[in-house]
């Protein structure tokens, strides 16, 4: 009985109602995932502290014992930012939709569609590099926004469930894009789409900075701008208030005079544009081609990342960085500590799992707190 009461008090303290409940719940989820990772590593006979230290070293947060030529801690950290950029856009896309009560699981499909449009329209051109990169960003955002508008319109006009629509669109986009790649843009060696030109790439690889070779994510500043712009919109504008009101109670919002349909469609326009930016920063940044009939897992991972960040703009930024630290660092940890890559990736999966069930922890803590108040 005492152990049960202790567990209930722990849940109330970490996830119960009160100041910073959402932040405390996220930190509790992170703590549980780290604890689960420690138990897993102990079962494998590995030192958990050394393993987590290796993850931070692999991600460029801590220095490694040694580096190859023209590499150091800064180059590793810049590589981390490069891989984090599409996750930030994807997490923001999910977060802004959830604020309006819309569950957008079409992020992966939008990423593929926007990247394909940018690849075909700009990626194979001989345009000036500056012009090409700007057009890639614009085409990606516009393509994603069009898909987002379609989902929002179908939900508002015909009351179609956005989850069903998004699932069907994921399949449609995947097969249609795969058809065009395999019939017109296939690389016979890699069996992926023909690589885009360097003039259209949104990441500079092996860019000389002093005596170092770095990966520079050109759109990472744009991701930071999107974070603060979205935060300002949600917290300081009328549209942001209407968006959150519709997400809380659409019927009451309609009764209060808020145009629910406009809020839904505009929200999905923003969400789609952000997903489109995730697509071009992923396929024309970190990668250079599109693999047919494969939806990027990043678009689905972004759902858990947005939940870990409490569907807030700033929270999504830090949650994206945390998840990508584990994702990038586990490769180095795997090679250094002789741990299978699948086991190392399992630690990241555990973090995403606990992130997704944060709402369950909050509800459980609220129930425990109500029981304690009744007694």
* Range 344-361 average pLDDT: 80
For residue 65, the model assigns a pLDDT of 84
* pLDDT averaged over every residue in the chain: 89
For the chain, give every residue range classified as CATH 1.10.3470.
67-330
Residue 373 has pLDDT above 60, yes or no: yes
pLDDT of residue 3: 55
pLDDT surpasses 50 at 334: yes
**320 pLDDT higher than 90:** yes
What integer pLDDT is reported at residue 2 of this predicted model? Answer: 52
If one compares 217 and 348, the residue with the highest pLDDT of the two is 217
Write a three-state SS string for the chain: CHHHHHHHHHHHHHHCCCCCHHHHHHHHHHHHHHHHHHHHHHHCCCCHHHHHHHHHHHCCCCCCCCCCCCCCHHHHHHHHHHHHHHHHHHHHHHHHHHHCCCCCCCHHHHHHHHHHHHHHHHHCCCCCHHHHHHHHHHHHHHHHHHHHHHHHHHHHHHCCCHHHHHHHHHHHHHHHHHHHHHHHCECCCCCCECCCCHHHCCEEEEEEECCEEEEEECCHHHHHHHHHHHHHHHHHCHHHHHHHHHHHCHHHHHHCCCCHHHHHHHHHHHHHHHHHHHHHHHHHHHCCCCCCCCCCHHHHHHHHHHHHCCCCHHHHHHHHHHHHHHHHHHHHHHHHHCCCHHHHHHHHHHHHHHHHCHHHHHHHHHHHHHHHHHC
Q: Is the pLDDT score of 153 beyond 70?
A: yes
CATH of 67-330, one of 3.40.190, 1.10.760, 3.30.1360, 1.10.3470: 1.10.3470
* pLDDT (tens digit per residue) in 259-282: 999 999 999 999 999 999 999 999
**Does the pLDDT of residue 201 top 50, yes or no?**
yes
State the average pLDDT over residues 348-359.
80
Statement: residue 317 has pLDDT above 60: yes
pLDDT at 180 over 90: yes
pLDDT digits (tens, 9 = 90+) for 279-315: 999 999 988 899 998 999 999 999 989 988 889 999 9
Between residues 100 and 331, the one the model is more confident about = 100
pLDDT for 21-37, tens place per residue?
888 888 888 888 889 88
Most confident of 47-56, 117-126, 247-256: 117-126
What pLDDT, on a 0 to 100 scale, did the predictor assign at position 1?
Answer: 47
- 367 has a pLDDT exceeding 50: yes
pLDDT in tens, 75-93: 999 999 999 999 999 999 9
The residue-averaged pLDDT of 66-72 equals: 81
Per-residue pLDDT band for 131 (boundaries 50, 70, 90) equals very high
Identify the pLDDT of residue 374.
66
pLDDT band at 4 (very low <50, low <70, confident <90, very high): low
């Amino acid at each position: 009985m005492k152990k049960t009461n202790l567990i209930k008090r722990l849940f109330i303290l970490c996830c119960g109602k009160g100041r910073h409940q959402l932040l405390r719940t996220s930190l509790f989820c992170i703590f549980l995932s780290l604890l689960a990772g420690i138990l897993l590593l102990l079962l494998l006979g590995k030192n958990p502290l050394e393993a987590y230290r290796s993850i931070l070293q692999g991600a460029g947060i801590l220095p490694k014992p040694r580096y190859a030529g023209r590499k150091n801690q800064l180059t590793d950290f810049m590589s981390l930012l490069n891989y984090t950029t599409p996750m930030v856009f994807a997490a923001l896309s999910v977060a802004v939709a959830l604020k309006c009560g819309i569950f957008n699981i079409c992020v992966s499909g939008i990423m593929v569609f926007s990247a394909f449009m940018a690849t075909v329209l700009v990626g194979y051109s001989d345009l000036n590099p500056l012009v090409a990169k700007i057009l890639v960003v614009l085409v990606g955002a516009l393509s994603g926004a069009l898909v987002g508008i379609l989902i929002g319109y179908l939900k508002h006009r015909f009351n179609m469930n956005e989850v069903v629509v998004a699932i069907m669109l994921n399949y449609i986009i995947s097969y249609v894009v795969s058809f065009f790649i395999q019939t017109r843009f296939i690389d016979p060696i890699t069996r992926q789409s023909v690589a885009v030109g360097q003039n259209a790439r949104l990441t500079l690889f092996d860019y000389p900075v002093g005596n170092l070779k770095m990966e520079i994510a050109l759109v990472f500043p744009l991701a930071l701008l999107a974070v603060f712009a979205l935060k300002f919109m949600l917290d300081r504008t009328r549209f942001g208030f209407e968006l959150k009101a519709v997400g809380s109670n659409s019927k009451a919002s309609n009764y209060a005079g808020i145009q629910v349909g406009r809020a839904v469609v505009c929200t999905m326009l923003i969400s789609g544009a952000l997903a489109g930016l995730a697509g071009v920063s992923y396929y024309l940044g970190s990668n250079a081609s599109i693999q047919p009939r494969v939806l990027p897992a990043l678009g689905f991972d972004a759902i858990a990342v947005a939940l870990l960040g409490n569907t807030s703009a700033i929270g999504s930024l830090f949650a994206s960085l945390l998840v990508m630290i584990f994702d990038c660092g586990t490769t180095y940890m795997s090679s250094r500590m002789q741990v299978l890559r699948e086991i190392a990736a399992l630690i990241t999966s555990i973090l995403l799992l606990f992130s997704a069930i944060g709402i369950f922890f909050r509800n459980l803590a609220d129930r425990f707190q109500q029981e304690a108040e009744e007694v």
